Amino acid sequence: MTRILAVDDSRTMRSMLQATLTDAGFEVDVAEDGVDGLDKLEGAAPDLIITDINMPRLDGFGFIEGVRAGRRMASVPILVLTTETGEHLKQRARASGATGWIVKPFDETKLISTIQRLVV
């Protein structure tokens, strides 16, 4: 089963992602911020990561850079969950190593099809 690690500091968003993705047949782990996400990375061994940008302690960009700098999960696809659509954000996300992005509020179908595009 495809495993997903969802990183978001909003517990509403975490629950929402967990519910949506679990219903779609994914196995979901959640983390509260970038630091928590990096902590849980090994254990969760995700096939794909979804992360928010604005988070305390370590934001989404920092988290992505952390994942990419690691050894075991360096090439896992990472989707950025964002409310913004600006070009600047996309560039920044790409620069830090994001694979793609989803604009909040996400459309369930779109979210799942995007995930399926990125996992084997």
Partner 1 sequence: MNDLNEMFFQECDDLLEGLSSGLNELENGSNDEEIVNSMFRAVHSIKGGAGAFGLDQLIEFSHAFENVLDDVRAVRLAADENVVALLFTASDHLSDLVDAARNEDQLPPEQGASILSDLKHMSGSLDDDSHAHDGRGEEDPPAFEPTTLTVDGGLPPLDDMLSPTAPTPLTITFKALPQLYTNGHDPTLLFRSLQELGSLTINADLSSISLLRDAPWSAPTLSWTIDILPDDSVDEAVIREVFEFVEGLCELEIQSHASAPPIETLPPLEEHTQVPQSGAPSLGPDPRETKETGVKPASGSKKQPAARSSTIRVDLQRVDQLINLVGELVIAEAMLRQSMDEMPHSANGSVDEAMSQLKQLSGAIQESVMAIRAQPVRGLFQRMSRIVRETSKEAGKSARLVTIGDATEVDKTVTERLVEPLTHMIRNAIDHGLETPDQRLAANKDKRGTVTLEAAHRSGRVVITLSDDGGGIDRAKVRQIAEDKGLVRPDDDLADADIDNLLFRAGFSTANEVSNLSGRGVGMDVVRNEIQSLGGRVSMQSEPGKGTSVTISLPLTLAVLEGMVVRVADQTLIVPTLSLREMLQPGQASVHTLCDGDRVLALNDELVPIINLGAALGYRTDPVCLGQQSLLLIEDDSGRRSALAVDAIAEQREVVIKGLEQSYQSISGIAAATILGNGRIALIIDTDQVIALPGRMGAAEPPAPGATGDVVNA
Judged by CB under 8 A, does residue 4 bind partner 1? no
Judged by CB under 8 A, does residue 108 bind partner 1? no
Distance CA 67, CA 52 (A): 14
Q: Are 34 and 55 in contact (CB under 8 A)?
A: yes
Tokens of 42: 């090994």
Please work out the total of residues on this chain that contact partner 1, with binding judged by CB under 8 A. 59
Judged by CB under 8 A, does residue 92 bind partner 1? yes
Q: Among residues 55, 63, 66, 111, which is the contact residue for partner 1, using CB under 8 A? A: 55
Dihedral sign for Cα 102, 26, 37, 71, please: negative
Give the CA radius of gyration of the chain.
Answer: 13
Tokens of 58: 């370590």
Judged by CB under 8 A, does residue 82 bind partner 1? yes
Residues that bind partner 1 (CB under 8 A): 1, 9-16, 18-19, 22-25, 27-30, 32, 36, 44, 52-56, 61, 68, 74-78, 82-84, 86-89, 91-92, 94-101, 104-106, 116-120
